[in-house]
């Protein structure tokens, strides 16, 4: 080997060594990026789950109640209307005073009453309305604890924190410790979280109204976006002439997919509420706005699914005498359906998690009642999360994380459904 050839070989080997080193560094960068992604995802999920899990339990206090008719302000002969108007809040407060007779000062009594939720009076009212024979009897009743008292019983607030920096005062902690030592505290599953609407009191707030609002909104979105999106994709892909107008439409559809969702909210506010005067805060308007936002996603994914169908299927159908319409609806669409359904469900999942456009059409209002239809005032789960996250009470912090867990559960179910349908149709 000549000296020149030997030198070239050394240069090539050095170049190869640098290339292999660069490739190895790139692989490590990729692994590091994936690991960082998993670490941030784990931190996010851990934070949400650790904060939201306590919201699925509630604390109750066992209070001896003397259903004294005079104290309630009714008589055993009172009718249902008079029983409903009784002073059950006063009954709950008097029962707490009987339980802690050493509490005398006005300010201390006010702190004592705050151990019980405002819902305790409605709990007592329901008991008397259901069984009026309770009047005159004494009975131990489990009453819902206030969210601040519950936070201490759950260990979220401790005595280590300065008293002026927490809402649960030292005297309240002493009373709660006494109740706990006498087995007068109990932990139960938070049924109210799934059966009640929003409330100003964290321990009474639930997501039922938001779940119903989300359901009606998604129904409207699906009924509008799916057929329009699929038919638009079929026309553009199979029937539309290839000219400048079609190209312009395709470009605009692709651009609409990248438009910020808040713009669709402004469109809904200007057109559907201000011009057509449709009801504000209604799932009908929310569904229309979300369907406009979801349409580009469904059209683009549906077109991609139709393009992926083998040309031999079209040629075979046309070869046996099928018309263009029969070829598309009898052969092309069934084969493309897994991709169409997957794109549609992912688009619906995106709509389920959107809150910005719904804020613009008034679905941020405080809604306690469960909507019964698409024109009733309603809110949706993402907006409910936004409202709770903006509340200063500690009880709403855990409610926010719990509602996020429920929303993530729905998104996971919808994505799993998309995978299941795709696999099922692919097997056919």
The 3 state secondary structure assigned to 63-126 is EEEECCHHHHCCCCCCCHHHHHCCCHHHHHHHHHHHHCCCCCCHHHHHHHHCCECCHHHHHHHH
Q: Give CA torsion, residues 256, 259, 262, 267, to 10 deg.
A: -40
Residues of the chain with pLDDT > 70: what percent? 98
Residue 2 has pLDDT above 70, yes or no: no
Mean pLDDT of the 259-263 span: 87
Which pLDDT score is estimated for 30? 94
Per-residue pLDDT, averaged over 259-271, amounts to 88
416-425 pLDDT, tens digit per residue, is 887 887 777 7
Question: Distance (Å, rounded) from C-alpha 165 to C-alpha 122?
Answer: 31
Res. 364 pLDDT band, cuts 50 70 90: confident
User: Does 120 score more than 60 pLDDT?
Assistant: yes
Let me know: does 380 contact 210? Beta carbons within 8 Å.
yes
Q: What is the phi/psi pair of residue 393, to 5°? A: -65, 140
Whether the pLDDT of residue 175 is over 90: the answer is yes
pLDDT attached to residue 428: 61
pLDDT higher than 80, residue 224: yes
* Amino acid 426: pLDDT: 67
Phi and psi, residue 97, nearest 5°: -65, -40
Which residue would you say has higher pLDDT here, 75 or 184? 184
Separation between Cα atoms, residue 224 and residue 388, nearest integer Å? 30
Using a pLDDT cut of 90, give the percent of the chain over it. 40
Mean pLDDT in residue range 215-240: 92
Write down the pLDDT at residue 164.
Answer: 83
- The pLDDT confidence band at residue 94, using thresholds 50, 70 and 90, is very high
Q: Give tens-digit pLDDT for 277-290.
A: 888 888 999 999 99
Give yes or no for a contact between 186 and 59, defined as CB atoms under 8 angstroms apart.
yes
State the chain's mean pLDDT as an integer. Answer: 88
The answer to whether residue 1 scores a pLDDT higher than 60 is: no
Q: What is the pLDDT of residues 290-347, one digit of tens each?
A: 999 999 999 999 999 999 988 898 889 888 888 888 999 898 988 888 888 888 888 8
Comparing 9-13, 129-133, 266-270, the range with the smallest average pLDDT is: 9-13
pTM above 0.75, yes or no: yes
Contact criterion met (CB below 8 Å) for 291 and 261: no
**Mean pLDDT score, 212-217:** 91
Whether the per-residue pLDDT at 3 is higher than 70: the answer is no
Instruction: Reply yes or no on whether the pLDDT at 212 is more than 60.
Output: yes
Given phi > 0 = left and psi -120 to 50 = alpha, else beta, which region is 280? beta
- Residue 63 pLDDT > 90: yes
Identify which of 177, 133, 171 has the alpha carbon closest to the alpha carbon of residue 155. Answer: 177
Span 256-270, average pLDDT: 87
Distances (CA, A) of 310 to 7, 72, 166, 314, 425: 54, 78, 67, 7, 16
* Residue 168 banded pLDDT, cuts 50, 70, 90: confident
Listing from the earlier edge strand, what are the strands of the sheet with 138-144? 138-144, 57-66, 185-189
pLDDT of 193 above 70: yes
What's the CA angle centered on 212, arms 189 and 395, to 5 degrees? 40
Terminal-to-terminal C-alpha distance of the chain? 65
The more confidently predicted of residues 419 and 56 is 56
* Rounded distance between C-alpha atoms, residue 98 and residue 161, angstroms: 30
pLDDT at 427: 62
More confident residue, 5 or 326: 326
- Tell me, rounded to whole angstroms, the distance of Cα 313 from its chain centroid: 43
Outline where 116-204 has alpha helix (H): 119-130, 147-153, 170-181, 192-195
């Amino acid at each position: 080997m000549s000296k020149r050839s030997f030198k070239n070989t050394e240069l090539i080997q050095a170049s190869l060594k640098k290339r292999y080193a660069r490739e190895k560094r790139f692989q490590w960068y990729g692994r590091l990026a994936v690991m960082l992604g998993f670490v941030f995802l784990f931190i996010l999920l851990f934070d949400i789950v650790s904060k939201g899990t306590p919201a699925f339990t509630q604390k109750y206090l066992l209070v001896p109640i003397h259903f004294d008719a005079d104290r309630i302000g009714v008589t055993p002969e009172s009718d249902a209307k008079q029983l409903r108007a009784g002073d059950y809040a006063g009954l709950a407060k008097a029962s707490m005073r009987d339980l802690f007779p050493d509490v005398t000062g006005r300010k201390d009594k006010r702190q004592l009453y705050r151990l019980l939720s405002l819902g305790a009076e409605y709990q007592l009212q329901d008991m008397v309305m259901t069984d009026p024979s309770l009047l005159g009897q004494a009975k131990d009743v489990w009453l819902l604890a206030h969210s601040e008292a519950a936070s201490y019983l759950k260990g979220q607030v401790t005595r280590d924190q300065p008293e002026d920096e927490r809402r649960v005062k030292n005297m309240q902690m002493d009373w709660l410790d006494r109740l706990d030592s006498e087995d007068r505290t109990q932990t139960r599953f938070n049924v109210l979280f799934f059966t009640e609407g929003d409330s100003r009191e964290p321990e009474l707030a639930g997501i039922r109204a938001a779940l119903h609002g989300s359901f009606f909104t998604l129904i409207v979105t699906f009924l509008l976006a799916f057929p329009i999106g699929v038919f638009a994709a079929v026309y553009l892909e199979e029937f539309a002439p290839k000219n400048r107008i079609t190209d312009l439409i395709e470009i605009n559809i692709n651009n609409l997919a990248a438009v910020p969702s808040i713009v669709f909210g402004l469109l809904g506010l200007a057109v559907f509420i201000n011009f057509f005067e449709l009801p504000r805060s209604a799932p009908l308007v929310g569904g229309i706005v979300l369907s406009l936002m979801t349409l580009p996603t469904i059209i683009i994914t549906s077109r991609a699914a139709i393009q992926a169908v083998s040309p031999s299927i079209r040629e075979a159908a046309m070869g046996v005498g099928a018309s263009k319409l029969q070829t598309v609806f009898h052969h092309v669409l069934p084969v493309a359906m897994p991709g169409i359904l997957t794109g549609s469900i992912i688009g619906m999942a995106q709509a389920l998690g959107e809150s910005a456009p719904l804020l613009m059409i008034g679905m941020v209002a405080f809604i306690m009642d469960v909507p019964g239809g698409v024109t009733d005032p309603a809110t949706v789960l993402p907006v409910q999360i936004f409202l709770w996250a903006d509340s200063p009470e500690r009880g709403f912090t855990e409610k926010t994380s719990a509602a996020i867990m429920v929303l993530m559960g729905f998104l996971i179910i919808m994505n799993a459904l998309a995978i299941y349908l795709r696999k099922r149709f692919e097997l056919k």
